[in-house]
Amino acid sequence: MWSLIYRAADAIRRGSFASNHGRMGEDLAHRYLRGRGCTVVARNYRPPAGHGEIDLVAWHREQLVFVEVKTRDTVEFGEPERAVDADKQLHLKRAARDYARRAGVEWQQVRFDVVSVVLSPRRIEWRRDAFH
């Protein structure tokens, strides 16, 4: 039942945002992580200060995971995860600290993952503990 609802919601989003690869990638990553035991608790979290945005926040076993999703049509211009540079990591960490503080989660209990999505041919890769 829930699977049908998620597929319908994804189809509506794809129709509304046909050229929005980022949204499509986040939908695919969300479903991929759920299928591998993660419980996604937030999408597109932006702290009140407005510095950075976290694509997905999930629990994986005993860890709170902050997930950056990078999506590309093809790998013609490189792998998607290469776009997570030091500046991007800094913004993610700032937003993650805010989220962890508000959720009452110890910083030692968090990790940062990157999910790379290539749309053609479709490929999803989950890189755990991508940076500290």
Measuring CA to CA, which residue among 27, 60, 32, 61 is closest to residue 44? 27
Q: What is the mean pLDDT of residues 15-35?
A: 82
What is the tens place of the pLDDT at every residue in 48-64? 987 789 999 999 999 99
pLDDT at residue 78 in the model: 82
pLDDT at 107 > cutoff 70: yes
Please, what are the domains in the chain? Answer: 2-131 (3.40.1350.10)
What is the tens place of the pLDDT at every residue in 66-106? 999 999 988 888 888 888 999 999 999 999 999 999 999 99
Q: What are the C-alpha distances in Å from 60 to residues 29, 85, 110?
A: 14, 24, 10
Specify the pTM.
0.83
